Structure 1
Amino acid sequence: MCVVITHMRSPGRSEKDPSAVRIGVLVPLSPPGWVEAGRHLLAGLELAADDVNDGGGIAGRPLVLLVRDTAADPRSAAAAVDELARLGVAAVAGEYHSVVARSAAARADALGLPFLCSSAVLDDLTDRPTDRVARLCPAQSHGWRIYADFLLDAGHRRVAVAAQSSVYWAAGTRILRDHLAPHGGSVAELDMNVLDPTAMCDELVRRRATALLLLTGHPEPAVSLVRAVRRDRRLTDVLVGAPAGQPEFPSWAALLGGDGSGVPFLRYLPKRLGALGTRVEATLRERLGEAPSFVAFEGYDTIAVLAEVLRSQGTDPARIATSWPRVAVEGTRGEIRFSRTPGVGVWQWAWPPVQVVDRDPAEPESFRVLRSGAVPRAAGPSWPVTGLLPGMIDGSSAER
């Protein structure tokens, strides 16, 4: 069952207010969902809603967020969309986990309800092209190809992935393999459902891998795998990477300390934030009690986009669903516009800024930008992921 949370920071605002404009919000706020990511996503969504209401709301009407905890469960997400539709929301937004977002997108599309996905990157967010769904974060194939180019430029041709069973991790492995192969690279898949950390280290030595990518859940087994590699003298020169972004959040540094530094990952922030991004960053830092992740900025931008659409199109879901190609909104990370992108069946912001970063070994609380996003090297088409089944998370709480 989904946990119900109503955004009501300002006195007098209520989901029962007949004048309120309601947006349904999906976030993972309990295990096995990645709660830390959900908390950051919700903080960004709520801050943006506060800013909208402080600026007069939607044509004088208060904006209310009806928040539902998906707990990384696709069935709960679909049920939440049904409930939110009955409550008369103008649109649904949010979600972090890709398989969960895919379930929500399918249900919203079937109900004729617009869905703006904040933070789930799986290329095939829907089974078929639809006008009702749009997405802010980059498609997995775009970001992970940039990450693959980072590996190539750093001289890594023998790459191993420590992978768990998940559609998301399988898609990532395929993207990396297809992109590295034309440039003389290879990807060896190490099944972490079979291997323990010690056996994984033995495999890295046997395969002469120069880089190990963690395509696993966080904190476990990711934390144990990093510790095993750091303590194995045979693997001193092996790069440990985490393209899905596990090191972005404070818990990574808290659990691993210095061992968690020097692990490159993808994040979706520009080199420098503009005036809006800087203000939002300061407020989010105060609310969260820690530095906001890129996921929090994705949350803020989600409501910023929907508020502009609601102001221009009203609250009719059909009108909202036809408005994506006309969106032009200044977000925290640049101007947001949606277009049709080959291989992606939803309206896509192409593209948000992409960085490959790591935690500085000299100062693990600080980040180093190792590569800024650019058009990836030519590669084959993205892998079409079809036939996803409910519940295909398999404990991989880092799955986006």
Structure 2
Amino acid sequence: MPSEQPSVSNQHVDEQLLDRIQNAYVEKFGKAPTLLVAAPGRVNLIGEHIDYNDGFVMPMAIQRYVVIAAGLADDSSRDHGLVHSVELEETEQVSLVTSPQPKPGSWINYVAGVIAGFLESGVSIPAFDAVVDSNVPVGGGLSSSAALEVATATLVEAITGKSIGKAEKALICQQAEHKFAGVPCGIMDQFSSVFGKPNELMLLDCQSQQIEPVPFQTDEITVLITNSNVKHELTGGEYAERRSGCDSAKAKLGCDSWRDMTIEELESKKASLSESEYRLARHVVTEISRTTDAANAFANGDYDQVGQLMYASHDSLRDDFEVSCDELDILVEIARAIGNEGGVIGSRMTGGGFGGCTVTLVKTDHLQSVTSTIQSEYKSKTGIEAMAFATRPAMGAHVIATTP
């Protein structure tokens, strides 16, 4: 490496990932980067598909990151940024003069959407070169896209010297997802990546955007994320269909917010809804309640209660919201069969569904045996290798290193 390469020692991001991206930058642009930024993926312990329904969610940032190495372009008059993906071995241009336009199906949309948001707010961005790398699993429901958006926003702040508030940064990234990726997501993914803290979960009120910290200080419990390594190809509108169905049900029920609806009131008005709308509504109402209950139980150290709420959440996502799949159900049932005596506290699918990951709370002294059992039994039942990794709550988006 050239001598001007920043000396990087980071307690949050994997050193191999940092070495790899710096080498990739030198190979691509012929010089060392002057800036390294990172933003984490996230896992949601409970509160699924209610972030866009004014509910509560309880995510945490994970110890897997999107990292961007960058520097100002040699040609300062250039009207675009160059962004290279290590994983895809692709380089894309992003306009810095006029607002970028979405490129159908491309990963660069997550970057371009954030750039567009800053440009629209009046921030002038100098020409830059950047390399992107990541160890957040793609397509696993761990918000690799939000991590890329938030890393991009952190990069723009660093190279322009114009820091914006954390909430504003998260909302710019959410709008990038809406406008450039076409996904009408809630605020959970971007808020998790921006606001994450070590040893802390967050109870995020998706209506007020207020965060209540939920301490996760104990070393006796570990979060195990298991990737089913399947992502079922669907017709394309499942996420939007469920959001639309929730909105339709809320309108028929005559409530301004799902927070105002109790399960008793929902049951009394069931006849006004279609069967599909009723089941969507039942998931939303009960999941909001489960999430606040889980936050209280976690804060009080009642992990058995947390586990039961996680299982109930999965059952609701499977039966009422219908976003699970056979492989996710198998992973959860394996964990449930291991049980508390075997070291499993609770398990559920996490993310949008139809594949991706499960999240399991495991007693740390049983972590190795639980992981081995889940992987071996899943392979036996499906023929698929499941990737699993343990994590603690992680640091949110941050600048790792700069050089003059």
- Taking structure 1 as the reference length, the TM-score comes to 0.28
Structure exhibiting the larger radius of gyration computed from Cα positions: 2
- Taking structure 2 as the reference length, the TM-score comes to 0.28
